[in-house]
Structure 1
Amino acid sequence: YSAAEDQLRAFAEGLGIPVAETSAGKGSLTGSRWLVGGLGVNGSRAANELAFEADLVLCVGTRLTDFTTGSHSLFQDPGVRFVGVNVNAADAYKLSATAIVADAREALTGLRAELGSTSIQREIAAPVAAWTADLEAGLQLRAGEALGQGEVLQVLNETARQGDWVVAAAGWQPGDLLKLWKTPPGSFTHIEFGFSCMGHEIPAGLGVRMHDGDAPEVFVVVGDGTYLMNPTELVTATQERLKLTVVLLDNGGYQSISRLALGSTGTSVGNERRHRGADGRLPDGDTVAVDFVANARSMGCGAVLAESREALRDALAAARAGEQTTVIVCPTAPDRPLPDSGAFWDLGVPEVAASVDVRDRSDAHRERARAQRHY
Structure 2
Amino acid sequence: MSQTLYVYQSLARATREHGVQTMFGLMGDANLFMVDSFVRDCGGRFVPAAHEGSSVLMALAFAHVSGRVGVATVTHGPALTNCMTALTEAARAHIPLVILAGDTPVDNPRHLQSIDQRELAKATGAGFEQLRSPATVGKDVARAFYRAQVERRPVVLNMPVEFMLQDVAHDMQVLDVFTAPGGVAQGDILDNAIGMIAAARQPLILAGAGAVGAREQLIKLADRLEAPLATTLKAKGLFTGHPYNIDIFGTLSTPAAYDLIARADCIICFGTALHDFTTDRGKLMKDKRIIQIDVEPEAIGGGLHPDAALVADAGLTAETILYWLDEAEVPASGFTRELDIATLTTHPAAAPKSGDGFINFVHALERLETALPQDRVLVTDGGRFMTEVWCRISAPDPTSFVSTVNFGAIGLGLQEAVGAGLAAPDRPVVLFTGDGGFMMGGINEFNTAVRLGLDLIVIVANDSAYGAEHIQFIDRKMDPGLTEFNWPSFAGIAKSLGGDGVEVHSEAELETALAALKTRKGPFLIELRLDPNDVPRMRI
What band does the TM-score fall into relative to the shorter chain? Answer: 0.7 to 0.9
**2:312 is equivalent to residue 102 of structure 1:** yes
Give, as a single letter, the amino acid of the residue that structure 2 aligns with 1:250: N
Name the SS for the 1:193 alignment partner.
Answer: coil
**Which of 297, 312, 315 is the equivalent residue of 2:495?**
297
Give me the whole-angstrom Cα distance separating, in 1, the residues matched to 2:429 and 2:468.
Answer: 24
Give me the whole-angstrom Cα distance separating, in 1, the residues matched to 2:221 and 2:378.
Answer: 26
Give me the whole-angstrom Cα distance separating, in 2, the residues matched to 1:71 and 1:193.
Answer: 18
**1:13 deviation in Å?**
3.3
Give me the whole-angstrom Cα distance separating, in 2, the residues matched to 1:333 and 1:157.
Answer: 21
User: What number of residue pairs does the alignment pair up?
Assistant: 323
Name the SS for the 1:190 alignment partner.
Answer: strand
**Structure 2 gap segments, 5+ residues each:** 1-208
Give me the whole-angstrom Cα distance separating, in 2, the residues matched to 1:131 and 1:223.
Answer: 25
**2:433 is equivalent to residue 222 of structure 1:** yes
Q: Does the CA contact (< 8 Å) of 1:26 and 1:191 recur in 2? A: no
Name the SS for the 1:305 alignment partner.
Answer: strand
**1:84 deviation in Å?**
1.2
**2:247 is equivalent to residue 37 of structure 1:** yes
Q: Which residue of 2 aligns with 1:119?
A: 332
Q: Kindly provide the CA deviation profile for residues 46-88 of structure 1, in whole angstroms up to 9, marking residues without a partner as x.
A: 23212222221112222222211112222232xx221112222
Q: Which residue of 2 aligns with 1:202?
A: 414
Give me the whole-angstrom Cα distance separating, in 2, the residues matched to 1:260 and 1:16.
Answer: 43
Q: Indicate the structure (1 or 2) with the bigger Cα radius of gyration.
A: 2
Q: Which residue of 2 aligns with 1:92?
A: 300
Identity %: 23
Distance 1:192 1:312, change over 3 A: same
Normalised to the residue count of structure 2, the TM-score between the two structures is: 0.54
Give me the whole-angstrom Cα distance separating, in 2, the residues matched to 1:36 and 1:130.
Answer: 6
Q: Does the CA contact (< 8 Å) of 2:500 and 2:523 recur in 1? A: yes
**Which of 346, 353, 360 is the equivalent residue of 1:148?**
360
**1:337 deviation in Å?**
4.3
Give me the whole-angstrom Cα distance separating, in 1, the residues matched to 2:224 and 2:321.
Answer: 12
Q: Kindly provide the CA deviation profile for residues 209-266 of structure 1, in whole angstroms up to 9, marking residues without a partner as x.
A: 11111x2111000011111111211111112222311011111211133334555x55
Q: Does the CA contact (< 8 Å) of 2:266 and 2:290 recur in 1? A: yes
Greater shift after overlay, 180-189 or 37-46? 180-189
Distance 1:239 1:161, change over 3 A: closer
Give me the whole-angstrom Cα distance separating, in 2, the residues matched to 1:194 and 1:187.
Answer: 16
Give me the whole-angstrom Cα distance separating, in 1, the residues matched to 2:488 and 2:375.
Answer: 33
**Structure 1 gap segments, 5+ residues each:** 275-287, 346-375
**Which of 325, 342, 345 is the equivalent residue of 2:523?**
325
Name the SS for the 2:285 alignment partner.
Answer: coil
Give me the whole-angstrom Cα distance separating, in 1, the residues matched to 2:471 and 2:448.
Answer: 33
Give, as a single letter, the amino acid of the residue that structure 2 aligns with 1:163: D
**2:343 is equivalent to residue 129 of structure 1:** yes
Q: Which residue of 2 aligns with 1:179?
A: 391
Which structure has more RCO (C-alpha within 8 Å, separation ≥ 6)? 1
Name the SS for the 1:7 alignment partner.
Answer: helix
Q: Does the CA contact (< 8 Å) of 2:411 and 2:436 recur in 1? A: no
**1:92 deviation in Å?**
2.7
Name the SS for the 2:379 alignment partner.
Answer: strand
Q: Which residue of 2 aligns with 1:20?
A: 230
Give me the whole-angstrom Cα distance separating, in 2, the residues matched to 1:104 and 1:317.
Answer: 44
Name the SS for the 1:17 alignment partner.
Answer: coil
Question: Where is the strand percentage greater, Structure 1 or Structure 2?
Answer: 2
Name the SS for the 1:336 alignment partner.
Answer: coil
